[in-house]
Chains A and B, each alone.
Chain A
Amino acid sequence: MNSLRLLPRRIFAFVARDFRLFVSYRMQFFLRIVSVLAVVTTLFFISKIFSGFTDPRYSQWRDPLATWLTGLAVLNYFMTGFSSLANSIRQEQMQGTLESVLLTPINLPTVIVASSAWDFLETTFFSFLYLFFGRVFFGVQFRGSFFLAVIFLLLTTVVLACLGILSASFAMVFKRGDPFGIFLGAGSALFSGVFFPTQLLKEYAGPKLGGISLILPATHGLDGIRQVLIEGHGLAQVTQPLFVLLGFLVVLLPFSLWVFGRAVRRAKREGSLIQY
């Protein structure tokens, strides 16, 4: 109960710490903003090649720039969902600071959640930047309910955070960071429809390889968000991706917490939690 009461303060402690570390590398911050602008500009010019050529079967791709920008913004967020939990613990392990953090009256799940809070804030800023630059400099129009889009974003992020918890469990026991991140990162970019419609995969690579996209939560999250923001669909029209995501959540949440509990016990027994 006391831990729960102190949770916001502890999250604030980590966010304040990471903000201070972040501003100690100011140049990197400005370069990242410039790189987002460069990516948006590049995509704008590529989208001009396809103007007027969109296949009517791919309704979400009538304005490829809007679709890419939503894809990149949301992919960024999803990647943070599953990689930051594992990375946070691995980074503290490598820096040698995990031991001193764990000496405070704070439990490991709180450390993991709190230490990835800044990553989510940072990603929110940079994801927003993709949409902001698209709208301000290249006139990209988004419609539909932003509230519903945010619901999709949060739900998909929580589902991917469950995979992140599995990844963090792996990092704790094997002392290797983010093994699922490589698979899910590359996999999501290729199979989730960030850069091209997932239907094309089925047409060109066959139903088996194309079917991979269906088992990735990011595919359904992205589909839901695009249906809302690009096609202007309401809640009644996006129930299918919504229920699929809820299904993922029901299976992955208890499973990942169970694996995490076992990993913590094992790491404490072996003394590997605080080892580099």
Chain B
Amino acid sequence: MEERIDLPQGTLDLLILKTVALGPQHGWAISERIQQISRDVLQVQQGSLYPALHRLERRGWIKAEWGVSENNRKAKYYALTRAGRKQLETDAHAWRKLSTAVAHVLDMA
């Protein structure tokens, strides 16, 4: 747990977009997925996940639909929209650029 770090602002949106890009997911699965892929480094709290989902939906980057979950329950699934895919590309690009730049600076020292 000590490995866990806080997400910089705006990063969560990027992670969510990336996760749902792989296929429609419900909220719980999104948070599980992020946790798994990041090897438990990134833990998404419900308190930030759901507001982020609603925000993204409002912006039209993801859309929500009620479906049936893997355990046969009604669940709200989020899928990437076309605008969301474009946004994901821009954001991912910007993020990579930023992190490389930050890395360069840090390596210099």
Indicate, yes or no, whether A interacts with B. Answer: no
**Taking beta carbons and an 8 Å cutoff, which residues of B are in contact with A?**
none
A-side residues, CB < 8 A to B, are: none
